[in-house]
Amino acid sequence: MTSQAADGPETVAATRRSKITPEREREFFDAVLEQIRECGYESVTMEGVAASTRCSKSTLYRQWKTKPQFVAAALRASRRVRFAGIDTGSLAEDLRQAARAAGDWSGKDTRLLQALGHAWTADKELAEALREALVNPEIAALQEMLARGVARGEVRADHPALEYIPAMMFGVLRVRPVLSGQYADADYLARFVEATVLPALGLTQDPGRRSRDD
C-alpha cells in the first residue's frame, strides 16, 4: 500500500500514480529514522522530516496517513539482514564473526530501538514493523547459525544455553549504554562472546586456560 512501485528502481508502473521514486522514498525513510535516533520518536515532527528532505508536509501526508504509519513504513523498508552469509564451518567462529558484524551496526540500531522508547509498546503497527525490520531477521540468522552447529555435532541439540544465545547477544547490545554510557562496539562484543557465550555453550577451545583449573 505504501509503495506500489516495487518492481525496480527505474522501471515504474505503467500508470504512475506517484512521482515519488523509490530513491526519494528512501530519502524520506532515512531522514525520519535518523531524526528518531537523534531526537526520539515523540520529538520527531513531520515538519522536520519535510524540511530536512526539502519536500512538503503535504507530500508526506499524501503517501502516509499518519506519523506512526510513516515511521512503520520506514522501519519496514530498513529491513536488512545484517550478518547473513556468515558460515565459517565452526560455530565458535561464526559467533565471533557475528559479534564483529553486530558491533558495526549496533550503534545505529541500538540508538533507534532506544529512541523508539515507549512508542512501539503502544502502537501495534510500530511494534510489528520493529520486529520485522530489526529483530526477527537477526534472530533467524543466529538460530540458523546455532542449528548448523548442532547439525555438525558441536553442541548438543538439547543444550540448555542454546535458547538464550539471542537474548545474550542482543541483551548486551541493548544494555551497554545504560551501564557504561557507551554503545557496544565490535571489540567489546567479541570479548563478550569469547568470555561468556562460547563458555556457556561449552565451546571454549582455548587450551591455555580452563575455568576450574585451580
User: At closest approach, how far in Å is the CB of 51 from DNA?
Assistant: 8
Question: What is the biggest distance separating any 2 CA atoms in the chain, rounded to whole angstroms?
Answer: 76
Please report whether residue 173 would count as binding its own copies according to CB under 8 A: yes
Binding to its own copies (CB under 8 A) within 117-146 occurs at 117-119, 121-122, 130-131, 135, 139
Q: Considering only the stretches 1-9, 46-54, 146-154, 159-167, report the one whose residues sit in contact with DNA under the rule CB under 7 A.
A: 46-54
Cβ atoms of 104 and 159 within 8 Å: the answer is no
Please report whether residue 136 would count as binding DNA according to CB under 7 A: no
> Which cell numbers hold the place of 210?
580452563
Please report whether residue 5 would count as binding DNA according to CB under 7 A: no
Please report whether residue 62 would count as binding DNA according to CB under 7 A: yes
Name the packing angle between helices 165-180 and 91-116 (round to 10°): 50
Please report whether residue 150 would count as binding its own copies according to CB under 8 A: no
- Residue 88: which of DNA, its own copies, none does it interact with, CB under 5 to 8 A by kind? none
Please report whether residue 187 would count as binding its own copies according to CB under 8 A: no
Q: Considering only the stretches 25-33, 68-76, 78-86, 194-202, report the one whose residues sit in contact with its own copies under the rule CB under 8 A.
A: 194-202
| Distance of alpha carbon 130 from alpha carbon 16, whole angstroms | 30
Number of residues that bind its own copies (CB under 8 A): 52
| Distance of alpha carbon 5 from alpha carbon 85, whole angstroms | 28
SS3 content of the chain, % helix, strand, coil (to 5): 65, 0, 35
| Distance of alpha carbon 193 from alpha carbon 16, whole angstroms | 50
User: At closest approach, how far in Å is the CB of 8 from DNA?
Assistant: 13
- Residue 54: which of its own copies, DNA, none does it interact with, CB under 5 to 8 A by kind? DNA
CA distances from 81 to 132, 137, 141, 156, 168 (A): 11, 6, 8, 27, 19
Please report whether residue 80 would count as binding DNA according to CB under 7 A: no
Q: Considering only the stretches 9-17, 26-34, 62-70, 193-201, report the one whose residues sit in contact with its own copies under the rule CB under 8 A.
A: 193-201
94 residue type, one letter = D
> Which cell numbers hold the place of 1?
500500500
Query: What residues line the site for DNA (CB under 7 A)?
Result: 12, 14-20, 43-48, 50, 54-59, 61-63, 65-67
